[in-house]
Amino acid sequence: MRVQQIGTLEELAPFAPHWDRLVERSGYKLPFSTFAWCNTWWHHLARNRASVRDRLSIRAVWDDGGELAAVAPFILTQRPATGPLRVRWLHFLGPDPGITEVPGMVCLPEMERQASSALLGDLQENADHWDWIRWSGLKPDGVATEVIGEHPRLQWSRDVPAYLLTLPSSWEEFRGRLPRNIKESLRKCYNSLQRDGHAFEFVATERPEEMTTALGHFFRLHSARAGVPGSVRHADIFDSDVRRDFLIELSETLAQRRAVRIFGVRIGGRFVAMRIGFVVDDTLYLYYSGYDPAWAKYSVMTTVVAESIKWAIASGIRTINMSTGNDVSKTRWRPTEISYREAIQISPSIRAHAAHALYQSVRTAAGVLDSGLSGNGNGRIKWRSGKRLAVAVGGTLTENPF
């Protein structure tokens, strides 16, 4: 197999049709390693300043017939951007606070062993260009996980839980499988609105020209949700123009393929709860949400999720991925738990081991004990309202690099 390195936008653009075809053939069910996601992410969220620089380092694995067998959308992050003391790590595209929830690679199942081996061989040949690799999105029982796990310098770090709903042919059958407490919650959220004279409208926005307006309502509700006090804090993930612009452009692009929906519950002409859903093949990935706290007593978030499930069943969706994180808003629906594995592979050089040790010590000083946010803002990185931590390094206050 042949491994091609893609390091520029000029090389990336003509690669799009091959990447899209690979996603279709592979059975990949997530939005995060599609060409549309990675290309949009790079244009909006890649960093290029003195303190940190991201560089494309995508690996495409081709079979001997000229077909794309796998794509590993790596980027190389250097901190600081230049100099002999910089650290350099490869990781799948998406070093963002919670935006890219499950970064990883896409591979044809029948070529997984050969492609993974070829990829590891290429990375090993170029080990002098990186200090460590952060692997993510690996299935615990996957062939790629087995191949990568045989590497002698691999350290498994954590498993990220996610939850899948397998949908029957009707809402009535789905509802019948639910436990009594969630059935009672559903009854109350619908009846309480009706009792107080509130009629709701469920809206599934899908047209490209409607995305900007719909997302404007979503950003308002997402920020409002983040401001609600309680035991579980929800970060305002889209609190900056650059992150909002990313989501707007991505949604407009995916809407042209009917691959995104913005689900909303509207009362009196005003949206009170919303959730974003990405459609990949026969799977709906439920992404971030938001609601108006003034309507919290009516459990409008439960309503928007229930109505989204009804929409998915009617649309022929077979599976709903409720995203990462094991909060009760997911587990109450009786989903099947899956997980994505993460690991660190250190380059064999003495420099690489020293660089990784320094990185770990700075993480510990920052109180960052995990490698990323879990889904929907419920992760364990310590940050608030999108503001990064400051880390004291050598007596100097610097931006948190993680």
Phi, psi (5° rounding) for residue 178?
Answer: -75, 150
Per the domain annotation, does 247 fall within a domain? yes
Position 368 scores a pLDDT of 53
- Whether residue 102 is contained in a domain is answered as yes
Q: Which pLDDT does position 323 carry in this prediction?
A: 93
Look at residue 366 in the predicted model and tell me its pLDDT. Answer: 65
Q: Give me the pLDDT at residue 350, please.
A: 76
The answer on 286 and 140 residing in a single domain is: no
Question: In which region does residue 16 sit, left (phi positive, over 0), alpha (psi from -120 to 50) or beta (all else)?
Answer: alpha
**186 and 313 co-located in one domain:** yes
Decide which of 317, 350, 385 is a domain's last residue. 317
Q: How confident is the model at residue 203, as a pLDDT?
A: 98
Q: Is residue 327 part of a domain?
A: no
Distance CA 349, CA 106 (A): 29
Pair 149, 102 in one domain = yes
- Residue 388's domain is classified under what CATH number? 3.40.630.30
Question: What's the pTM?
Answer: 0.87
**Do 8 and 116 have their domain in common?**
yes
pLDDT at site 153 = 84
Q: What is d(CA 85, CA 81) in angstroms, rounded to the nearest whole number?
A: 10
Q: Is residue 326 part of a domain?
A: no
Confidence at residue 392, expressed as pLDDT on a 0 to 100 scale:
28
Please identify every stretch of the chain with a pLDDT value under 70, giving residue numbers as ranges. 231-232, 366-402
Considering the domain architecture, whether residues 176 and 300 belong to the same structural domain is answered as yes
Residue ranges making up the domain that contains 176: 168-317
Does residue 330 sit within a domain?
no
Residues 14 and 107 in one domain: yes
Task: Please give the pLDDT value at position 395.
Answer: 28
Q: Do residues 256 and 173 share a domain?
A: yes
Q: 285, 372 in Cβ contact below 8 A?
A: no
| Residue 299 DSSP symbol | T
Alpha carbon of 359 to those of 54, 93, 108, 130, 402: distances in Å?
17, 19, 34, 14, 10
| Residue 332 within a domain | no
**Cα 335–chain centre separation:** 19
Q: What's the pLDDT score for residue 348?
A: 85
Q: Do 189 and 87 sit in the same domain of this protein?
A: no
Q: Is residue 323 part of a domain?
A: no
Q: How many domains does the chain divide into?
A: 2
Retrieve residue 212's tokens. Answer: 């900007």
Residues 303 and 348 in one domain: no
pLDDT at 367: 63
Locate 30 and state its tokens: 């997530």
Within-domain flag for 328: no
